[in-house]
Amino acid sequence: MSLHSKESFIVRTSTGIYYNIFYKNNAIFSNTYDKNRKILESKELMNLDIIDYSVDIDNNDKIHIICITKTGNIIYYIYFKNKLSKKHLTTLDVKSNRYDYFYLKVIKDEIHIFYAFSNIINSTVWTIQHIIGNKQSWEKKNVISITPGKYMSPYYIDFDKLGNIHLIYKNVESRTQQIYYTHYSSFLKSWSKYPIRVSDISVDNLHPYIFVDNRNIIHLVWSKLDNSNLRFVYKQRPVITNQKGKWKSVELPLSRSTYTHPVIYEDFGLLRILYKQNDSIKGLFSKDFGSSWVNDTSLNNFGNQDWKYYRYTSNNHNEKSKIKINHIYAKITDTIELYCKYLNTITLDTKNSTNNDIKISRLNLDTIEQKNKIINKPEKSIAIDTADKSCSFEDNNIEEFVNNTNQQIKDIFSKTYNIDLIKKEIETLLLNNTKNLENKIKSNKNDLDSILTRLDNLNDLVTEYKKENQDISQIIKSINEKYEENLLYIENLESEINDLKNIIKNTPKKNLINKLKEFFK
């Protein structure tokens, strides 16, 4: 079952409105749902014969849609306030190349577009490309070229809080399917030259998934062939790691069976893994960010009927500190059902916040109505702080201004409770006292000129330091780039050494020479 080509999308706006965007019968449709996820309308956005498409939402609730048509046209749409605008970006050579797995991500003012392509003549080699666009220009980068076998498998992407991009993909090595990890450095503006194999080379591996949580920890999970079963392998490591950059493996509490198509997401402080087991959806959760996992028994009664796989993207600000979801299993009819604790309770939170807003508005109105009334209350009902506060001022003129003004304001309050009169007298007082302070400060103009001269000299010194710091920054950047290349090369070399040890240990002597020849091809 292919979950990923022409995948469907669940989009949530800042106001809590949901959209289900999907492709059907050569057209892209949008179903709109209210805050309680009940359908409002269904409409066709565009009638288009496409190869693939992708969807995301920006900080202004504009829904971005990118499509590649069967004639090779890349068309960029923006759907906002029920209006659809479009722009033709470029035309790709679909007569010579095959294209698949488009992925769109909008982050602030940057647009990230990913896709995979292969030449029709040499269809065993696929290249993943990354296009970065902004208001000024577009830049294309090759992520990696791979030989995935007869068919290209989907790759997965996630972004961390530092702007780095993390990517996991499947490739064929030594006649087995292996899982590789690579990343894009937002500091160096480049992709790693040395992807890391994270899987066991002795067996086939399938269905990789990657997720970066709100604490900047990278989580990987995939299916590993174990005799006739597929069991999960789970690994994690922080985005910023030590020199060795080791992946930590954690055993998942699953018996021998067939587990496929895992999805990881963060839900109300819990990490969750949803996956398929035969015809059912099952799950695990972790309360310690992946260090240990527990079976989610609440999913025992979930059948596979009508539950499908969706990419989820949201601009709802309430979500950002509570959850992070890139993909999820959902059931969509006239309502949207999601297995996510936070999203299933958010409508109650929204109602509570609305009631609070109403109360605040009424309070403000009451305050405005009382603005011009004369309040006749006993003196004890007005609490004016007459305690002396210990304040120190370097300038005696300012200290005199503050003390005199405080005392004069107290005198005004002691004479009347008429708010308009108090306001007028305080404004006059502040104006006169400020003018007096200004005159006193002007008398010290020579001292001020001397201070300004010193500040100018200090500013020149700061400029010199900035210049020196820029030179140092370039040196650090160069060192960091070399360090990162060396680190990844060492990790790759270490992995190959371990593989070679396993081959020597586990291969009969009569087959050892052939196995070693195959390894070093």
> Stretch 374-385: mean pLDDT, rounded?
37
How many domains does the chain fold into? 4
Q: What is the DSSP letter of 485?
A: H
Residues 49, 121 within the same domain: yes
End-to-end CA, the chain = 33
Do residues 310 and 326 share a domain? yes
Any domain includes 403? yes
- Same domain for 126 and 3? yes
What's the length of the chain? 521
pLDDT of residue 386: 35
Q: What is the CATH number of the domain that holds 73?
A: 2.120.10.10
| Residues 79, 328, 265: CA angle, nearest 5 degrees | 110
Distance of alpha carbon 65 from the chain centroid: 18
249: exposed, middle or buried (Cβ count in 10 Å: 0-12, 13-18, 19+):
exposed
Cβ atoms 311, 5 nearer than 8 A: no
Kindly state whether residues 455 and 438 are assigned to the same domain: no
As a whole number of angstroms, the distance between CA 4 and CA 151 comes to: 13
Q: Which residue has the higher pLDDT, 280 or 52?
A: 52
Residue 4 domain flag: yes
Q: Is pLDDT above 90 for 503?
A: no
Query: In terms of domains, do 452 and 485 share one?
Result: yes
The reported pLDDT for the residue numbered 452 is 67
Q: What is the mean pLDDT of residues 309-314?
A: 95
163 and 287 together in one domain: yes
pLDDT bin (cut points 50, 70, 90) of residue 357 is very low
Position 106, amino acid = V
Looking at the DSSP bridge assignments, the partners of residue 275 are: 282
361 within domain boundaries: no
Report d(CA 483, CA 374) in Å as an integer. Answer: 73
Residue 419 pLDDT class (50, 70, 90 cuts): low
Quick: pLDDT tens for 153-163: 999 999 999 89
- What is the per-residue pLDDT for 62? 97
Complete edge-to-edge strand list for the sheet that includes strand 50-57: 50-57, 63-69, 73-80, 83-91
Quick one: DSSP state of residue 163?
S
What per-residue confidence (pLDDT) applies to 353?
Answer: 39
Q: Is the pLDDT of residue 15 over 60?
A: yes
At which of 411, 426, 443 does a domain end?
A: 443
Both tokens assigned to 320: 């950002």
Residue 228 is predicted with a pLDDT of 79
Q: Collapsing DSSP states into helix, strand and coil, what is residue 431?
A: helix
Give the C-alpha separation, 30 to 14, whole Å: 17
- pLDDT tier, 370 (very low <50, low <70, confident <90, very high otherwise): very low
Q: How confident is the model at residue 445 (pLDDT cuts 50, 70, 90)?
A: low
**pLDDT exceeding 70 applies to what percent of the chain?**
76
Does position 491 have pLDDT exceeding 80, yes or no? no
Domain membership of residue 503 (yes or no) is: yes
Last residue of a domain, one of 263, 291, 319: 291
* DSSP 8-state assignment for residue 154: P
Phi-psi region of 208 (alpha: psi -120 to 50; beta: other; left: phi over 0): beta
HSE-CB of 383 using CA atoms within 13 angstroms: 0
Higher pLDDT, 464 or 331: 331
pLDDT for 384 equals: 34
Contact 198, 181 (CB under 8 A): yes
Comparing CA positions, the residue from 42, 169, 147 lying closest to residue 103 is: 169
pLDDT of 379 above 70: no
Share of the chain above pLDDT 90, in %: 48
Residues 268 and 134 in one domain: no
- Say if 298 falls within a structural domain: no
Q: Is the pLDDT of residue 360 over 60?
A: no
Query: Has residue 350 been placed in a domain?
Result: no
pLDDT value, residue 380: 38
Same domain, 258 and 283: yes
Is the pLDDT at 480 greater than 80? The verdict is no
Regarding whether 392 and 332 lie in a shared domain, the answer is no
Rounded alpha-carbon distances, angstroms, from residue 444 to 11, 230, 402, 437, 463? 63, 83, 19, 11, 29
pLDDT of residue 442: 63
Nearby residues of 155 by Cβ (< 8 Å), 6 or more positions away: 101, 114, 116, 128, 167, 168, 169, 170, 208
Is the confidence at residue 347, as pLDDT, over 60? Answer: no
pLDDT band at 450 (very low <50, low <70, confident <90, very high): low
Quick: pLDDT tens for 122-171. 889 999 999 999 878 899 999 999 999 878 999 999 999 989 999 999 99
Structural domain contains residue 183: yes
20 in the same domain as 142: yes
pLDDT beyond 50 at 300: yes
Last residue of a domain, one of 402, 425, 443: 443
- Please indicate, yes or no, whether residues 213 and 282 belong to a single structural domain of this protein: yes
CB 164 within 8 A of CB 184: yes
The C-alpha atoms of residue 153 and residue 166 are separated, in whole angstroms, by 17
> Average pLDDT, whole number, for the chain?
81
pLDDT higher than 50, residue 4: no
In this prediction, residues 105-116 reach a mean pLDDT of: 95
pLDDT of residue 364: 32
Distance (Å, rounded) from C-alpha 169 to C-alpha 100?
A: 14
Q: pLDDT tens digits, residue range 185-211?
A: 998 999 999 999 999 989 999 999 999
- When mean pLDDT is compared across 37-41, 211-215, 494-498, the lowest value belongs to 494-498
Asked, for residue 299, whether it belongs to a domain, the answer is no
Instruction: Please tell me the distance from the alpha carbon of residue 262 to that of residue 275, in angstroms, as a whole number.
Output: 4
pLDDT at position 16: 94
pLDDT score for 493: 78
Its pTM surpasses 0.75: no
Tell me, what's the pLDDT at 281? Answer: 87
Shared domain for 284 and 312, answered yes or no, is no
The CATH number covering residue 160 comes to 2.115.10.20
**Is the pLDDT reported for residue 354 higher than 50?**
no
Structural domain including 409 reads: 372-443
Helix or strand run (H / E) with residue 223: strand 217-226
Q: Which residues contact 14 (CB under 8 A, 6 or more apart)?
A: 61, 315, 316, 317
Mean pLDDT, residues 336-351 taken together: 65
